[in-house]
Structure formats: C-alpha cells, structure tokens
C-alpha cells in the first residue's frame, strides 16, 4: 500500500509533536506548512517535506491536518486550500481535518464555505485532541472525530498514528462537542483544585505534596471519570445496580464535603464549589432524596 499523502498545517506546541509522529511513520508521506521557519526545518530534518504553500498542499494531499490557533485561522487556511483547488482525476475529496478546538457551529459553517466554492471536493472533519503536548509527543492522544462513516474511514489511518484512542463521536460537529464536554470537566476541576489548594494552604499543609497525592490516587481510581459508566444522566431507577454503588459514593462524598466545609469555615476560606457540590452531588449521580433541592 502506498503511503498516505498527508499535509500538516500549524506546528505549534501540540501540532509539531503530532507532525513528528507522522514524519516517523512509514505509512505516511508528510508535507508540512507553518509561518515560522524553525519548526518546519525540524520537521524536514525528521523526514517531512516542506510544502510550497497551503494551496499546493490542497492539490497534493489526501488528508490535511490543521492545528492552528482559532476559528478565524481555520477559516483562513481552508480559504487558501479552496482558492486554487483543482479537480482530481479520482474525484475523491480531500479530507480537511480540524484538530483545533473551535466553536460548536464552526464545522457546519466550514461546509458552507466549501460548498460556496467547489461542491464536494473537500470533506470537513472535526477531530480535536486531548492529552496535551505530552500525549502528542508519545502518540497517546485521544482524538474525537466528527465525520461521516466514509470520511472517518479515510482519516483513521492517519489519526491512529498520533493517538491511541481515536473515537468516531458521530456526524460532523460531534468531535467538537465531545471535546467541549470533556474540557468542561477539565477546567471546572482546575477551579475546584484551586479551592482545595487554598483550604490546604490555610491549614498549613504542603500543597505540592497534596498535588502528588491527587495525581497518584487519580491514576488508581480514574479521577472524575470514575463515575462515568452509565449511558444516561437520567435518575437511577429504584433497585438498579448503580443505585447501590452511587448511594455509597454519595454518603462518603457528602460526609467528606461536610467536614471540608466545616474546616473552611474555621479557617475563613471561601469554598463555593464545595458547597455547590454538597448540594448537588446526589442528583449529579442520578440519585434523589428528601434533602435534595
């Protein structure tokens, strides 16, 4: 099988290590583009070829991976691809894969951008990533793909070089929604982490050691994802298996949150997320009770 002709645009903190994974794989024929010369030179040294322009990539590649800063840059890159796009003899569309995290409506808007120029010559795929620069460097990213079944099949061989968990989240736009839900948990957890650190600091504890403990135990238990096993957020029916499991979780959680809030009050530390969690933990787990609001 001949190597997959792949273009990569955007060689930043995450894009560059992603592209380096592709450059090292024999199944990929890689050409790269970036406005900064240094990462391009590094990719060329690793075995990639420098693309003359974004437009030239559009007329060569089977798959174009895009990891740029924001929605406007994604639109600009697509515009460059479309500007000089030529009809291909095989009539197979170029897969334009967006790894940047964009607004939920952007993938559909990009389809409209394509349709206004060249019909179905370019297939938009949204495939944001999770795992950061570390996951990009070792090829262990989670990649959440929104695309038709045919488009997913076309890009999966390329994506699987960069990630160990490549999921077909659904139709176009689903990858972006998946990433936004994942990052909601991510950044709310960061905010709660700061609250916990303030409490620990006020209690005279070493918050760096606390961080070590959190990372250690989350690696064992799965962290917040440990409770994400049901296929619905609806209330748990009485007698269901998960009722017993999450009732135990709730009892422990409400007890410990109560003690943490008491400590915070004693130390004059504001813990609004802890109070909110204590009030909403049961319903969040799918449980209902007399003291739920």
pLDDT in tens, the chain (293 residues): 678 999 999 999 999 999 999 999 999 999 999 999 999 999 999 999 999 999 999 999 999 999 999 999 999 999 999 998 988 877 889 999 999 999 999 999 999 999 998 877 999 999 999 999 999 999 999 999 999 999 999 999 999 999 999 999 999 999 999 999 999 999 999 999 999 999 999 999 999 999 999 999 999 999 999 999 999 999 999 999 999 999 999 999 999 999 999 999 999 999 999 999 999 999 999 997 644 44
CATH topology (fold) of 4-172: Rossmann fold (3.40.50)
| C-alpha dist (Å) from residue 270 to 49, 88, 208, 258, 260 | 55, 62, 20, 14, 11
Q: Exactly one of 4, 153, 165, 179 is catalytic; which is it?
A: 179
Q: State the Cα–Cα distance between residues 291 and 288, nearest whole angstrom.
A: 8
The CATH code belonging to domain 192-284 is 1.10.1040.10
Q: Give the rounded distance of the alpha carbon of 127 from its chain centre.
A: 8
Cβ atoms of residues 143 and 162 within 8 Å? yes
What are the domain boundaries of the chain? 4-172, 192-284
| C-alpha dist (Å) from residue 57 to 24, 38, 64, 81, 144 | 19, 19, 8, 7, 24
Whether residue 4 lies in the annotated active site:
no
Q: Strand 163-170 to strand 63-66: parallel, antiparallel, or no bridges (unpaired)?
A: unpaired
Tell me the two tokens of residue 168.
């077909």
Cβ atoms of residues 95 and 62 within 8 Å? yes
Q: 159: closest CA among 127, 121, 123, 132? A: 127
């Amino acid at each position: 099988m001949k190597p997959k002709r792949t273009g990569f645009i955007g060689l930043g903190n995450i894009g560059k290590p992603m592209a380096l994974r592709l450059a090292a794989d024999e199944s990929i024929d890689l050409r790269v583009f970036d406005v900064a010369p240094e990462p391009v030179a590094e990719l060329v040294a690793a075995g990639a070829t420098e693309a003359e322009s974004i437009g030239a990539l559009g007329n060569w590649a089977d798959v174009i991976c895009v990891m740029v800063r924001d929605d406007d840059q994604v639109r600009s890159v697509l515009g460059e691809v479309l500007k000089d796009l030529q009809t291909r003899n095989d009539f197979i569309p170029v897969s334009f894969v967006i790894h940047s995290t964009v607004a939920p409506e952007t993938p559909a808007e990009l389809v409209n951008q394509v349709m206004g120029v060249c019909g179905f010559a370019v297939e938009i795929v949204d495939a944001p990533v999770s795992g950061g620069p570390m996951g990009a460097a070792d090829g262990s990213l989670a990649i959440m793909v929104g695309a038709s079944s045919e488009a997913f099949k076309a890009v999966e061989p390329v994506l699987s070089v960069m990630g160990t968990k490549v999921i077909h989240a659904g139709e176009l736009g689903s990858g972006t929604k998946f990433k936004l839900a994942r990052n909601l948990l991510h950044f709310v957890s960061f905010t709660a982490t700061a609250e916990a650190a303030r409490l620990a600091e006020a209690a005279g504890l070493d918050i760096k050691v606390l961080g070590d403990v959190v990372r250690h135990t989350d690696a064992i238990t799965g962290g917040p994802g440990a409770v994400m096993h049901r296929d619905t957020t609806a209330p748990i029916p009485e007698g269901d298996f998960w009722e017993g499991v999450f009732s135990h979780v709730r009892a422990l959680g409400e007890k410990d949150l109560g003690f943490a809030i008491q400590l915070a009050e004693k130390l004059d530390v504001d813990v609004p997320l802890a109070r909110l969690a204590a009030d909403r933990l049961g319903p969040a787990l799918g449980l209902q009770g007399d003291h739920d609001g």
